[in-house]
Structure formats: structure tokens, C-alpha cells
Structure 1
Amino acid sequence: MQRNTSLDNPWKQMSAVGEKALYADTKGTSFSNVSVRNTVGTVGLLESTILPSISIHGGLSIIAYGIAVSTDRLEVKDLLWPSAQLANVLWAAVGSRMYHQDISFPKAWSTLGWNEKVLVTGMTLWGGRLFSRILARTLARGEDDARYIEVKKEKDFWSKALFTHFVPEALFQAVITLPFTISFRALPSETLHAPSEWFPVIHSLAVGLFSAGFALETLADAQLDKHKQSSTGMKTDGVWSIVRHPNYLGDALIHVSFPIMLYGSGLLHPLALFSPIANYVYLRFVGGDRPTETSQRRRYSTSDPVKFKQFEAYSEEKNSFWPSTKEFRNPWLWVIVGAGVVGAAVERVLRDYL
């Protein structure tokens, strides 16, 4: 099928000059990607945003399922988690524009507003770091995650796995990416926005939350890797003294920051609020701390009594996901807060001088 490159193509209805004149200010506090926006509505939203996202994530999940079955590695779905979301975001922000307008990546990137670039860069940092982390861990281990070795013992596991693991996670991914797919489609009249005088403050808050979450995730993984080189016990110090799952908390902060940035940019579609909610539900109840700790308790209680005792003591002392009020005295909490402040300050400098 030949691409539609005529003037009635919505991708070409407005020139870059017209976009900037109508919607972009010099510091990027609003979005410039106007030529790709649709009048969303109920039917339009379904056609332009939700169904394409489900198609992307569903298709990739089927491919990942095939690879997982052939390699007997359920952990393939963990590799898909960040990479599929990143692929969807890059398509919505840049790839679809390159295709419809027949332009290069640098040209498509240059037409994005500052906040759009910050959003896409943030998602790229999150997805790229998490994917490389999971891939390195998978290659080093040489076998499936211990949690999945247990799960695969179920009768006819692989015949059901597509519908019990891969497809449900694809639906979660489609919802979690809504702030990006909707932000590149919705018109300002369809969105929520803060008072314009609050835009810079809310934008900095969003960048600070992202920076804090990213620092927390990165430090948690780095400290855990170093700990495993010299000890087989539980890691309970460093950022692991804030909560039992600092990497999940960091992930939640990152995904909360995206809708906040949209709100401080005048482009928060109400449906984008489901993104951090879906991410939180997944992290807590589907693929995060609760199933992880259930598996840990079962394994440690039967194979490592010493570690099981450490785990029980750790569980009584520290919260699983959200820090308790006593953590206000924990210096590592303030290290993460400081990372958020530094991240917001650096982004402000870059915004002023680039």
C-alpha cells in the first residue's frame, strides 16, 4: 500500500513555522507537535492511540512468546517489558512522523518541543537502562530467573503462558505508555493543564521526580551487584535501607513524573492518569514486590534457613515499597532527594542554554 503524502494528510496540514507560531514558546513550556494531533474524542482516541498501542505490544508479545518457548526462558518477557514500551514511544514521537512525512530522524527530532524531547529522553533512559540491566543479568546467569523456574513446573505451562503472562503484560504496557501516545495525538482543547504561571514549577517537579527515581533504580542495582560479589546474605544497607524494593519505588517515581510533566505543559489527557496507576498495580501485585517476596519466602525457607531468617527480620524492619516516616532520618533518603534536585537544576540550565 502506497503512503499518503498528499496535502490532506494530517501530518502535513501545518508547517513547522505555523506550529511554532501557534503553540511553542522559546523555552518549550508547551508542545510543538501540533501537525500530528487529531481531534481525539472517543472513537478517534480508540483508533489513533489505544488500538495501535495494543497492536504494537500484542504483536511484540507474540514474538517474545515464540522466543521464550524455543529457549525455555520465561525471562524473555522481562526483556520485552522496557523494550516494547520504548519502541511504542519512539514510534509515536518520531517514527510515525518519519514514515508519514518521509523525513529523517534528525529532522523529525528537531520538530519536537523541549518538553516532548525531555519526555522521550526520559523514557529512553529508563527503557535503555532497564533493558541492558536485564540482558546482562540474563546472560550472566545462564538460566531462567529462580522465580520462573518454579512457575514453569506447572502442568502445561507453556501452552497457557501466552494468555497468562505475555498478553496481560502487553495490555499493561499499552496503558503505561498512554502519556506518550496520547500526548502526540490530543489537541490542547481536550487536555488538562495547570495555570500557566505554575508551568515551570510543575515541570521542575516532574524532572526532579524522574531524576530521583532514576538515581534510586541505578544505585539499587549497582549496590546489589557489588554486595553479591562478597556476600550471599540479604542486602539491607545503602538505598536498600530505605525500603525492601528501592528499584520498584524508583520505577514508580519515574512513571509518575510523566503525567505531571504533561500537566505542567498543558497537555495532560485524563486517560494518561491511568499510566502510573497501571504501573503501580503491576509493580505491587503482578510482577513486582509481592510475587517476588512470595517466591523468596518459599525458596529461602526450604533451601537457605540463614537467609530466610535475615529476610524475615528485614521484612519486619523495613517497608516493602513506600518508606516509613522513620526513614526521614535515613541519610540515603536525602541522597535520593538531592539527586532529584540536581537533576531538575541541570535540566533547567540545559533548557535555558540549548
Structure 2
Amino acid sequence: MRILVTGGCGFIGSALVLHLVLDLGHDVLTLDALTYAANPASLKPLDGHSRHRLVHGDICNPELAAELFANFRPEAVIHLAAESHVDRSITGPAAFIWTNVLGTQVMLEAARAYYMAELTGPEKENFRLLHVSTDEVYGSLPLGDGFFTEQSCYNPRSPYSASKAASDHLARAWHHTYGLPVVVTNCSNNYGPRQFPEKLIPLQILNAISGKALAVYGDGLNERDWIHVEDHARALVATLEKGRPGETYLLGGRSVRSNISVVQTICAILDRLRPDGGPHARLIGFVADRPGHDRRYAIDPGKAETELGWHPSRSFEDGLEDTVRWYVENPDWWRPIREGRYAGERLGLTA
């Protein structure tokens, strides 16, 4: 297949693009604005690959979007490009509205024009646009209780989640109003190699490696459902292949953990891998909670498991150990981020 992927140099996007090209043999056009959290080095295995092309561009540019559809003629679109860091959305919400809302509208309109005017027969029948979103649109659950399902009501509580909720509504509206074959996924917290180190797990790994304080928001009891990024990539492919237009699928790892337990597990892993720096748990400390910090996210992925035949393959503990080991062994990937062009920024934590 010819697949257009937006945000393919990001954490989830790069894992997906590598899977599509190297494992499945698809032709992929990656569109990415290469903002601070995008890293072309994540796609280094595709350098010179005949089945991959990277375009540096903004999803908010309608002329560029139309040109890419016309020239590449995708058989499917996977739309991942988004601003995704909650802390940044609190201090600067405008960028989230611009990219997540306007950018999604631009991509939907470009896809609609292409779908209606350029496709016929089996090409039109098989075309899909997969809109990738987050479980944060559903708000917060009580600690230790409940799961989000496809029937859960939207209740976004941060500028980030509000912008993603708006983009979800736009995607569904373009399906129901215009007949564009859109499928929506909402996923739980991702982790794994090549994640930008402002997110909880890579931030704490790298701080611990450096002997820096491991700051945990509030009481550390906030709960998140974790999924390995490679399991998420496989789930997105299964949704693209088997998902029904107009439907939503929740993707989760069935691995709910408190933030403090995640940090403690990272410390225990590093104590085994780098005993000279331990015990790493001595670095843990608590800081004032961030505004509007949701207490619990947890997903019931039963619909995706039943309809798509997909199941998460990695346990959280095994996946986290592999992730910690990757950061320990790949300083060439993360050191430029920590010491180079982002050295003047405060790398905050989110979960």
C-alpha cells in the first residue's frame, strides 16, 4: 500500500513508519514539521530506502497537503501529527489549537477532496483515514476504579486533551457529513525507545542515569495505563486493515500503574544495569502537582481485541526493562537533545 503518515518523525509515528516499511513492505510518505519533539534520527534505518520519503512540512498548509495527495496518491492516511505534551499545553495552548484542531481540519479537507474527485472503484472503496488520538479526551477516573470504553463521555480537562477532543469530533463529523471513511483510535500512555525526554519514563531514566533528582508530581499515586509503542504500531495497522469506517477503537496495554510505582521500577532496573550509581531510588522526590492533573486513565481494549484480532504482546515490566536498556545503550540518540539544541529549555514531566 501507499500510506501517507503525518507526524512520522515523532515517537509513535517513527515506530509506526519503521514497522510499515521494514516489516510490512509498504510505501510510506512521511509528512512532519520537524518541531522540537520530532527527530529524523529515529528514521535513520530508512535512509536511502526506496519505499520511504520524508517531506518537511506543516499539516496546517492546505496547498502542501493537496500537492502530496495529488502526487503520492495514497491508498490510506494515518494522521498522528499533534502537539502532545500536557505541561506545554498549560503554558502555551495556542500551538495545540493550531496544530491539533486546524491541522486536522486541513488534512480532513485535503483527504475529502482527493477521495471525492480522484478515486473511483476499488481505490475509493478501500481508502481509509485513520485518526490517532488519546484516552485523555475522556477526562479522569477515580483512583483504582473503572475503565474507559468507546461509550465513555468526553470530558477533556487540559488544553491538550481539549484540542484532541476537538480533532476527534472533526474526524467523526467528516465521516458522517461527507462520507469520508474515517476510523478513530484513542490510546493509552505509550512508552518505549526514542521517546522525547520530556515525558515521564524517558525523563526519569535519563535523570537517574545522570544522578539528577527524580521529581514526581503530587503524591505520585496518579494512575496510567501503559502500552509499548511497538504494540501500538501493530494495533494501528490492524485498525487500518480491519477497522470499520465511522467506528472508534480504544487501544490499551492492560497495564495500569501508579506514577510512583513506574519511577520505582525504573530505579530497580537501573540498580541492576548500573549498580555503581545506585540505589537510584534515593533520587526520588515529590514536587507540587500540576494544575488539573487527572488521577486515573485506564482503557478497556476489548472491542479492538475482539474485532481487530489484536492483543498487546509485551508485559509492562519486560517492555520497561528493554526501554531502560535502550536509553542506557543509545546516548548518541538522546545526548544531543539533553545537551544541545534543547539545553535552554526546562524538560518537565508528564503522565
- Mark the structure with the bigger radius of gyration: 1
What TM-score do you get using the length of structure 2 for normalisation?
Answer: 0.26
In terms of fraction of residues, the more strand-rich structure is 2
In terms of fraction of residues, the more helix-rich structure is 1
